[in-house]
Structure 1
Amino acid sequence: MRQPLLLGMMRLLDYPELAAPQALLGFIERCVERGLNGFDHANIYGLGECEARFGAALRLRPQLRQDLELISKADIVPSSLDLSRWRVKHYNSAASYLNQALESSLARLGVERLDGFLLHRPDPLLQVEEVTRALQAMLASGKVGWIGLSNAEPLHWQVLARELPLRCNQIELSLLAQQPAWGGQLQAMQAAGLQVLAWSPLAGGQFPPALQQALGEVATALQATPTQVALAWLRRLPGNPLPILGSLRQARIDEALAGSELQLDAPTWFYLAEAARGIKAP
């Protein structure tokens, strides 16, 4: 994963200008031209419609597939898709469900292979041997290039990594979600060889006023923008976390790319961390 960021497809349906396959294809092509070829999907994004729309666009130019890195995730069952009498959101890491989810994602995207396949959320009912065999079989089949986890804690990846070549762990990480930086989680992932993928790196644009002010001050000092500074704060962390940008607005993507080389020194990092947390470093 050498690109400066990944593009998250969770909110694809929120962009009517990308609804037509040709329009979405143009967007994908522009991203690839800018060096952004990683697209982060999940089987539940838009209840499958996000993958389906992406696939419809890709079918207009199938040869583009070789330039893309397609990631998808599975094991969350939204309440609307629960077929039991309880209609409850739950997790399903059974081999049969994961295999069905993989095949469905491949069909919606119109591809024969996913570059990456992730377990979306830690399942308290996960059976290690069953999941291990299922993911190993996916790799052996060639339908998945590599596997990883999402939202996993150290014990989750330590157990699964005994038998599986895990590539990454996708976690919430931002100035408003700093705990992995303070609790040793990032160092543990780095030691385990797991790439950190940071979802919601800009906290959904919900930075409080005090943090907005601090970001503005740093941005002015560094001749950058607050968004660029917030992403640079992430890059300063151990393991060089790779942000997953949730916005599909071209202007926001261009802004993020323009600041991809921005670096923060330690005092600036701690200044922003303190502004976000509201407390001084211990």
Structure 2
Amino acid sequence: MTAHPIRQPLLLGMMRLLDYPELAAPQALLGFVERCVERGLNGFDHADIYGLGECEARFGAALRLRPALRQRLELISKADIVPAAQDVSRWRVKHYDSSARYLTRAVEASLQRLGVERLDGFLLHRPDPLLQLDEVTRALQALVAAGKVGWLGLSNAEPLHWQVLGRELPLRCNQIELSLNAQQAAWDGRLQALQADGLQVLAWSPLAGGQFAAALQQALDEVAAALQATPTQVALAWLRCLPGQPVPILGSLRETRIDEALAGAELQLDAPTWFHLSEAARGMRAP
């Protein structure tokens, strides 16, 4: 496995793009993307199921207004989840599809919606229990060889998933849920295993959607006051202490929240503070 760390303080998640009516017009979204790039943020995290494809389509419509901007962006997308609404079988069931045919079509559809010739990164969105290793390997290698995908990664993968696939493919990252509310990977060795295997950790829902329990929110407020920071900045600093320095994927597209996160990008926590916050979140002391 080859490590290619993503060298920016955070990525911007496009899952909730449709929740921002102020970004609905292509010109408005283009302005937002340009301002992000000016801030040093050029990584945008997509998936084919976000808005059932509409999030990528809107992003592509904005990008078509200024095609030259493409060269300054890092576009990531994911596929293999089939929502029930898109299942054409009689069962109408959510399922995963990691077949070569599905993955190839998914990449080509994302390219068309985004209006680009290449995805910088492509991730398998969820581990598929029916995944056929040889078929997936050939499909992803072909996409890279054809220049449609720059690098490969996984999302929500457990150790055996990334280790088996990593024997056949040059994986760059694993995107996992990681926050004060979802910190098990910090305790069970997964983060050290990812670091040892050369995979960058991308942390989705790094602020747990703002759903912090009262005890944790109080601890964040107290630490923030002591460090002259904000609770959001402290929660993100907690992540940066972890092995491999996980890169948070910020779900909010509010520019004030983005500015707040960037302003605290250099904030450091010492070990006692890290454990204090962890204990407040878990409701239990370290073992």
Q: Name the residue aligned to 2:43.
A: 38
Secondary structure, counterpart of 2:203 in structure 1: strand
Question: How does the TM-score come out when normalised to structure 1?
Answer: 1.00
4+ runs of 1 displaced by more than 3 Å? none
- Decide which of 247, 250, 262 is 1:242's aligned counterpart: 247
- Decide which of 117, 125, 132 is 2:137's aligned counterpart: 132
Q: Name the residue aligned to 2:52.
A: 47
How far is the alpha carbon of 1:2 from its aligned partner? 1.0
Secondary structure, counterpart of 1:253 in structure 2: helix
Asked if 1:18 corresponds to 2:23, the answer is yes
Q: Name the residue aligned to 1:155.
A: 160
- Whole-angstrom distance in 2 between the partners of 1:5 and 1:271: 24
Q: Name the residue aligned to 1:101.
A: 106
Q: Name the residue aligned to 1:180.
A: 185
Question: How does the TM-score come out when normalised to structure 2?
Answer: 0.98
Q: Which amino acid aligns with 1:2?
A: R
Q: Which amino acid aligns with 2:200?
A: Q
Q: Which amino acid aligns with 1:82?
A: D
- Whole-angstrom distance in 2 between the partners of 1:276 and 1:100: 42
What is the percentage of aligned positions where both structures have the same residue?
Answer: 84
- Residue deviations 1:190-213, cap 9 Å, x none? 000000000000000000100000
Q: Name the residue aligned to 2:231.
A: 226
How far is the alpha carbon of 1:76 from its aligned partner? 0.1
How far is the alpha carbon of 1:186 from its aligned partner? 0.2
- Decide which of 55, 77, 85 is 2:82's aligned counterpart: 77
How far is the alpha carbon of 1:3 from its aligned partner? 1.0
Secondary structure, counterpart of 1:224 in structure 2: coil
Q: Name the residue aligned to 1:263.
A: 268
- Whole-angstrom distance in 1 between the partners of 2:244 and 2:132: 29
Larger relative contact order (CA 8 Å, sep ≥ 6): 2
Q: Which amino acid aligns with 2:79?
A: A
Q: Name the residue aligned to 2:173.
A: 168
- Whole-angstrom distance in 2 between the partners of 1:7 and 1:119: 18
- Whole-angstrom distance in 2 between the partners of 1:205 and 1:233: 15
How far is the alpha carbon of 1:19 from its aligned partner? 0.1
Count the aligned residue pairs: 282
Question: RMSD of aligned C-alpha atoms?
Answer: 0.3
